[in-house]
Amino acid sequence: MKPNRSNLSVPGHVKKMHSKALNCEADVIMLDLEDSVPANKKHEARRIVIQSLRDLNWGSKTVTVRINAPDTPFAHKEIIEIVENAGERLDAIVVPKINHPGDVHFISRLLDGVEMGCHFKKKINIEASIETAKGLEAVSKIAKASSRIKTLVFGVADYSDSIGARLVSLSGHGENEEKIYPGHRWHYPLSKIVATAKANDLLAIDAPFGSFKDMEGLKRSAALASALGCDGKWVIHPDQIEIVNEIFTPSPKEIERAQLIQDTVKKAGNTGRGAVAIDGKMMDQATLRLAKKILDQAAHLKLV
Ligand code: COA
Ligand code: MG
């Protein structure tokens, strides 16, 4: 799969932002029809998104469209119109507020029909957004509901709403979080999503960080997500892309250390030892597997 470190959300009705997104370094561009588009612009946004998908030169960029939730009057029309008119240039449909595997079956069947009608050779993937208490409860069944699902993403703002959390941190996981709740307030849902994604060979992606002027807050939020096993993070402003890409890319120091661990543990194995010390730290076969993961990621990004 192509890298998925940063996923830029771009309001579907704001055409000039589409051209701006084209020239940025985000791994994924998501043209949004949901919460960045007001209700009276949904139709126009759909038309503009189709135009952009057809007319702009996206090159090898991964491009997705976030539709409205399955239980709205928009979702079915958006899939039919967007896939019929511009499906060839679409990598995935992002589906918000998935509550139940039935939501995935509905989207997947609709895609089957439209793709067959258009004689598409490739299948469009689904990115499932888990952002309700119901969705989190059913996440394991949702992850298995269709082979089109390649990614699970956490939606922090709607999740807060669905569990009835107080309106204290408006921007995602930044503002005031540590004052309200020492520790990582979203540790449980994010970890549950990560474990489910990994058990099903999917990517796990973190929610965006809404305080787009607070670069230190963004770094911290992305580093926490990376430490919890996420593969990437949504961003809502072009200025956030560089930091998020950096956090989800193995650093030269990490790569060097992983190489040292790999060489040393393998060499120790040849002399009959499974565990060995490097700088006063125990390294064994489990550490070797971790090191190998870093080297695989680095190879995937063509860094080694
Ligand atoms: N995608 C592409 N371009 C974007 C962008 C985005 N998400 N956000 C900002 N830009 C562009 C602006 O058009 C502007 O371009 P210009 O210099 O050519 O005029 C430039 O980046 C600087 O924007 P700025 O003035 O700093 O932003 P703002 O104050 O106008 O808007 C937000 C701030 C947060 C409202 C805006 O970034 C945005 O709409 N983000 C996406 C929101 C979204 O998708 N929400 C749903 C997410 S789950
Ligand atoms: Mg949401």
Q: Is the pLDDT of residue 160 over 80?
A: yes
Predicted pLDDT at 226: 97
Residue 178 has pLDDT above 80, yes or no: no
State whether residue 275 is helix, strand or coil.
Answer: coil
Residues whose beta carbons lie less than 5 angstroms from ion ligand 2:
131, 155, 158
Q: Mark out the alpha helices in the chain (DSSP H runs).
A: 15-22, 42-55, 75-86, 101-118, 133-137, 139-143, 156-163, 177-180, 187-199, 215-227, 241-247, 252-270, 285-300
Tell the residue nearest (CA) to atom 27 of ligand 1.
237
Average pLDDT over residues 15-24: 96
CB-CB contact of 74 with 86 (8 Å): no
Asked if residue 227 is part of any domain, the answer here is yes
Residue 130 and residue 267 in one domain: no
Q: What mean pLDDT is predicted for residues 225-242?
A: 97
183-209 pLDDT, tens digit per residue, is 888 999 999 999 999 999 999 999 999
In whole angstroms, give the CA distance from residue 81 to residue 228: 38
Residue 1 included in any domain: no
Ligand 1 surroundings by CB, under 6 angstroms: 8-11, 16-17, 20-21, 32, 35-36, 208, 212, 236-238
The domain of 214 spans: 6-247
- pLDDT tens-digit series, residues 43-100: 999 999 999 999 999 999 999 999 999 999 999 999 999 999 999 999 999 999 999 9
Do 35 and 126 belong to one domain? yes
Whether residues 121 and 210 fall in one domain: yes
Please report which ligand is nearest the Cα atom of 205: 1
> Is 103 inside a domain boundary?
yes
Average pLDDT over residues 11-35: 97
Residue closest by Cα to atom 18 of ligand 1? 20
- Proximal ligand: closest to the CA of 98: 2
Question: 242 with 267, same domain?
Answer: no
- Structural domain includes residue 220: yes
Is 119 inside any structural domain? yes
Question: Does residue 236 lie within any of the structural domains?
Answer: yes
Nearest CA to 231 among 2, 1, 4? 4
Instruction: Report the CATH number that the domain containing residue 224 is assigned in CATH.
Output: 3.20.20.60
Q: Check pLDDT > 90 for residue 24.
A: yes
Q: What is the largest CA-CA distance in the chain?
A: 70
Domain identity same for 135 and 66: yes
Residue 182: what pLDDT? Answer: 82
C-alpha 237 – ligand 1 centre gap (Å): 5
Residues 231 and 293 in one domain: no
Verify that 67 and 164 share a domain, yes or no. yes
Ligand 1 atom nearest to CA at 30: 44
The residue out of 247, 268, 283 marking a domain boundary is: 247
Q: Is 0.75 surpassed by the pTM of this model?
A: yes
Residue 245: strand, helix, or coil: helix
Q: How many other C-beta atoms lie within 10 A of the C-beta of residue 205? A: 28
- CA–centroid distance, 236 to ligand 1, in Å, is 7
Instruction: Tell which atom from ligand 1 comes closest to the C-alpha of 8.
Output: 7
Residues 6 or more apart in contact with residue 267 via CB below 8 angstroms: none
CA distance readout (Å), 266 to 90, 273, 289: 43, 9, 11
Q: Do the strands 28-32 and 203-206 form a parallel or antiparallel pair, or are they unpaired?
A: unpaired
Count of domains observed in the chain: 2
The predicted-structure confidence for 244-275, as pLDDT tens digits, reads as follows 999 999 999 999 999 999 999 999 999 999 99
Same domain, 271 and 191: no
In a domain, 128, yes or no: yes
Domain boundary among 231, 247, 263: 247
Note whether 142 and 230 are same-domain residues.
yes
Question: pLDDT of 103-150, one tens digit each?
Answer: 999 999 999 999 999 999 999 999 999 999 999 999 999 999 999 999
- Quick check: is 79 in a domain? yes
| 166 and 265 housed in the same domain | no
- In this structure, which residue's CA is closest to atom 5 in ligand 1? 237
User: Cα(212)–Cα(209) distance, rounded to whole angstroms?
Assistant: 7
For residues 149 and 264, state if they share a domain.
no
Quick one: 198 and 63 in the same domain? yes
Q: Indicate which atom in ligand 1 lies nearest the CA of residue 35.
A: 46
Q: How far apart, in Å, do the first and last CA atoms of the chain sit?
A: 17
